[in-house]
Amino acid sequence: MSERLSGRVTEDPNALVRELVLDPQFRYEARTLLPWYIAIEKSLVAEYLRMELIETGQARTLGRLLDGVTPEVIEEKRRQSLSDIALAVERSVTERLTEPVPVWHADRSRNDLQACAQVMFAKQRLHETAADLHRLVDAAQRLAHRSTDVLMPGYTHFQSAQIISAGYYFAALGDRLLRRSRRLLQTHDLIDACPLGAGAMSGQELPWERDRMAGLLGFDRVEPLALNAVASREWAAEVTAELGLLGGTLSRFLTDLLMWAGSEHGFLDLPDALSGISASMPQKKNFPILERIRGKTAHLAAFHMDVTLGQRNTPYSNLVEVSKEAGSHVAAAFDTTRDVLRLLTAVLESLVLREDRLLAACEQEYFGGFTLANQLTLRHGVPWRTAQVVAGGYVLAGVRAGRAPKDPAPDVLRELAAEHGHTVEDAEELLADAFDVRRALPRMRSAGSAAPDQVRAALAGQDEDGKSLAAAWERRAEVVRQALDDTDRALGLDADSE
């Protein structure tokens, strides 16, 4: 039996409970939360020192011993600490003290300690996610810059609709990724409130300076109410919601890539190193990486639902069900997001656009029908709806005759216009202009359109936006790094290093 840690419970945990619940949780937290537990313990030591409950030498000793706590060290203490990481950290330090520090861990609770470590973990993973996200943004923008003049069909309702450019499409991806970065940054700032000092649920009896502890851990502020600090794990639902939204957005772009990479379109290609084969059909070159990435995006929504259902209908208090079970897949959500972003970045960096196939697809469709209707109205005064009927009739006649869009039939247009009481003497000129695919993009004049100059302007704006967001993320990461250094200085550990 382990050393008694409570007068109320006198037996070790059941072996089955250890195997299926406590030990897996312990090892999960040792992998993901231990650095933050150590940082928190240091900030608390700094507070004991400020309150003059311990001496400078004791503070430095505790800080030095805390620095020596590793996953391997606490694994040695697992069985003697009820398979609880906070108790294992405490034991790892106290057993190495040459003289006891009686006040250490006085007026303390594991509730706010764990809540604080979890939020610090989430903040760090958000910083890492943002870095991966911006690398994907860069890849999308580079591809967009290279393909601003590469014509391709745009689709609505699963049908080819208008001519766009590949650059326009990938600029849209970059824009949506920056939106997700901005939302993640807002989420980061929303959860950037320190739970430490809340105690079990109602506060603490010693005069802890919660603002100082929050600053020593790199938080923007304290969580105002102790109950919210330990009862709420909304941050887990909020973070995974944003990751789920990112996955949903990416799944739509991946669906396009999967369709366009198929043999019926053949719009794009990937190098063999990112491709697959068919064991039975040698003519096939598959792109399972796109399927893998899209499949992984589904997990992100599932992880959010897992958190939400784990919290639903639970009392508003500190609960293992909420703090541990409901958050058991948060790290997996971050890991999966990382994999999705890194894999998709590799795809975009290697993707080859088959410009001949894209151009051929543009030339075989009657994309100029919209332009023809516009010009009938603007140049000949044909009422808009009538112009639509005339243009649609011309397209239908061409399709039925098997005529290519670039082969004009001015007599057909004149006859259709005449049926509605209009004369179109420049029919040949109108048709040549409307169905010349290379005139499609320069014709677009509105801001945000697929016109190459507008796409380049949008990309320039994205570049500035991306730099601003990346700088904002770096500032927040630097706050945490600087705060942890300040904590070490408060304990005199910087003198040890010197």
Query: Domain spans of the chain?
Result: 15-109+488-497, 111-354+454-483, 368-439
- pLDDT tens profile 168-227: 999 999 999 999 999 999 999 999 999 999 999 999 999 999 999 999 999 999 999 999
Tens digit of each residue's pLDDT (9 = 90 or more) over 224-269? 999 999 999 999 999 999 999 999 999 999 999 999 999 899 999 9
Task: Give the model confidence (pLDDT) of 17-49 as tens digits.
Answer: 999 999 999 999 999 999 999 999 999 999 999
Q: What number of CA atoms fall less than 13 Å from residue 60's CA on the CB side?
A: 10
- 352-353 and 268-269 strand pairing: antiparallel
Tokens of 138: 């860069």
- The DSSP bridge pattern shows strands 221-222 and 285-286 to be unpaired
Close Cβ partners of 80 (under 8 Å, ≥ 6 residues apart): 2, 3, 91
- The answer to whether 341 touches 133, Cβ cutoff 8 Å, is yes
For the chain, give the number of residues: 498
Same CATH topology for 111-354+454-483 and 368-439: the answer is no
Q: What CA–CA distance (Å, rounded) separates 307 from 57?
A: 44
DSSP line for 145-179: HHTTT-EEEEEETTEEEEEEEHHHHHHHHHHHHHH
Q: DSSP readout, 424-482? A: -TTHHHHHHHHT-GGGHHHH--STTSSSHHHHHHHHHHHHHHHHHHHHHHHHHHHHHHH
CA 183/CA 174 separation, integer angstroms: 14
Backbone angles phi and psi of 277, in degrees to 5: -120, 170
Beta-bridge partner residues of 155: 160
**Which one-letter amino acid corresponds to residue 173?**
L
Q: Residue 269's beta-bridge partner residues? A: 352
Look at the block and give the residue holding tokens 């299926």: 20
Class of domain 368-439: mainly alpha
- Report whether 455 contacts 168 (CB < 8 A): yes
Can you tell me the distance from the alpha carbon of 424 to that of 420, in angstroms, rounded to the nearest whole number?
11
* CB-CB neighbours of 423 under 10 Å: 9
Q: What is the Cα–Cα distance from 25 to 19, expressed in whole angstroms?
A: 10
* pLDDT at site 239: 98
> DSSP code of 69?
-
pLDDT recorded at residue 495 = 59
CA 454 to chain centre: 27
Spatial distance between the Cα atoms of 117 and 336, rounded to a whole number of angstroms: 21
- The domain 111-354+454-483 having CATH identifier 1.20.1530.20: the answer here is no
| Tens-level pLDDT at each residue, the chain (498 residues) | 455 666 666 788 899 999 999 999 999 999 999 999 999 999 999 999 999 999 999 999 999 999 999 999 999 999 988 899 999 999 999 999 999 999 999 999 999 999 999 999 999 999 999 999 999 999 999 999 999 999 999 999 999 999 999 999 999 999 999 999 999 999 999 999 999 999 999 999 999 999 999 999 999 999 999 999 999 999 999 999 999 999 999 999 999 999 999 989 999 999 989 888 777 777 777 889 999 999 999 999 999 999 999 999 999 999 999 999 999 999 999 999 999 999 999 999 999 999 999 999 999 999 999 999 999 999 999 999 999 999 999 999 999 999 999 999 999 999 999 999 999 999 999 999 999 999 999 999 999 999 999 999 999 999 999 999 999 999 999 999 999 999 999 999 875 544
